[in-house]
Amino acid sequence: MTPSSISQAAAPILTFAVPKGRILAEALPVMARAGLTPEPAFHDKAERALSFGTVEGATRIIRVRAFDVATFVAFGAAQAGIVGSDVIEEFAYSELYAPVDLGIGHCRLSVAEPREGYADRPGNASHYRVATKYPNLTSRWFERQGIQAECVKLNGAMELAPLLGLSGRIVDLVDTGRTLAENGLVETEVIMPVSARLIVNRAALKTDRRVAELVDRFRRDAERQGEGQAEDRAA
């Protein structure tokens, strides 16, 4: 046994966090190319376990809600994971480092309002009520424009808020724009473009060689995918 394999054997298994919802399908092939293939039970809908081994054996994969991916990694309970840049920016955890844009999970964070406009509060144009899952990004965005936004935190179905008079505007993710259109809303401003990133815990990156190796594998794959897409465009 070499000194490095001794320390490797003694180190606790690495934990990699993934969001359980819509990013997952796109993330799985990226993870597989980086040597993280979940064991078959991961794909079994009846399975109640939340933590899974990998075919490659060296890492455990946990499946949690998107916002919780950032929290597990920031606190070092998981050393790395995949999450949208919307979540990274909303938390702005200093312990998180997001070294690789994975080129998946593209959408945007936008302001939307009813198609026919909305009279917020007559005589008080500098005070908006906004329903959102992203209160930090939302207040920052409106603050920069000198508007005080009162954020009502919702966890989903934001589009209902203006329809039912809960708020004048919403800040939510938009991809095709279908959900907005079907609920009588229009996108008025784009706050930020969003894509999924590899995130790592900064301390783990400094102290655990395996985390740096993981970053390298994801980075090399993202570069290869980028080159492939450039060639496709040129053809």
Which positions touch ligand PRP (CB under 6 A)? Answer: 22, 156-157, 172-179
Binding at 177: pick from ligand PRP, ligand ATP, none (beta carbon under 5-8 Å per type): ligand PRP
For ligand PRP, the closer CB: 22 or 140: 22
206 binds, among ligand PRP, ligand ATP, none (CB under 5 to 8 A by kind): none
Which of these segments, 21-29, 43-51, 72-80, 110-118, binds ligand ATP (CB under 6 A)?
A: 21-29
| Integer Cα distance of 225 and 220 in angstroms | 9
21 binds ligand ATP (CB under 6 A): yes
227 binds ligand ATP (CB under 6 A): no
Helix H or strand E encompassing 213: helix 209-234
Q: Which of 97, 102, 70 is nearest to 86 (CA)?
A: 70
Rounded CA-CA distance 74/95 in Å is 5
Residue with the two structure tokens 């473009």:
193
Question: Strand 80-84 and strand 14-19: pairing?
Answer: parallel
Contact 34, 214 (CB under 8 A): yes
Closest by CA position to 106, among listed 27, 159, 34: 27
Q: Which of 14, 16, 17, 23 binds ligand ATP (CB under 6 A)?
A: 23
Chosen from ligand PRP, ligand ATP, none, partner binding at 82 (C-beta under 5 to 8 Å by type):
none
| Piece of the chain touching ligand ATP by CB under 6 A; list 46-54, 79-87, 207-215, 226-234 | 79-87
Half-sphere exposure of 48 (CA within 13 A, CB side): 0
24 sits near ligand ATP (criterion: CB under 6 A): yes
- 45-53, 63-71, 134-142, 214-222 -> range binding ligand ATP (CB under 6 A): 63-71
